[in-house]
Amino acid sequence: MIEGSAAKNEFAKNSSISIKDYKLDKNEKKLIKDNKAIILTEKEVQLLEVLLNKKKAVSKDDILNLVWQYSAESDTHTVETHIYRLRKKISEKFLDEEFIFNNKKGYYL
């Protein structure tokens, strides 16, 4: 029983990530702040994890490879579309326009 409890605690710890003033619950696919939450898609969770783990701007090509396993030669607006939708969700729910940034090198938190 103790092993099961320890495993649950470890699972819970690994599924909850702090991002700025937010908590990302990977199990429930939610971004939470001040008792408010938005539901995320699996790809949005993966995208946030990539941006958080890199700790610097991540290029569109790297995001395509890491999240979607697309090659750099792919002509797609997948990254831009997902970033736009995620920014919109965050802005509408949390009134936060400064969650995901971008510059010439890519996207970052």
CATH number at residue 44: 1.10.10.10
pLDDT grade for 38, boundaries at 50, 70 and 90: very high
Whether 8 shows a pLDDT value over 60: the answer reads no
Burial (CB < 10 A; 0-12, 13-18, 19+), residue 97, is exposed
Percent of the chain exceeding pLDDT 90 equals: 77
The predicted pLDDT at position 7 comes to 46
The predicted pLDDT at position 13 comes to 53
More confident call, 33 vs 71: 33
The predicted pLDDT at position 12 comes to 52
- Domain region containing 10: 2-108
Whether 11 shows a pLDDT value over 80: the answer reads no
Distance CA 84, CA 61 (A): 17
The predicted pLDDT at position 91 comes to 97
The predicted pLDDT at position 55 comes to 84
Helices 78-94 and 42-54: crossing angle in degrees, nearest 10, is 90
Domain count along the chain: 1
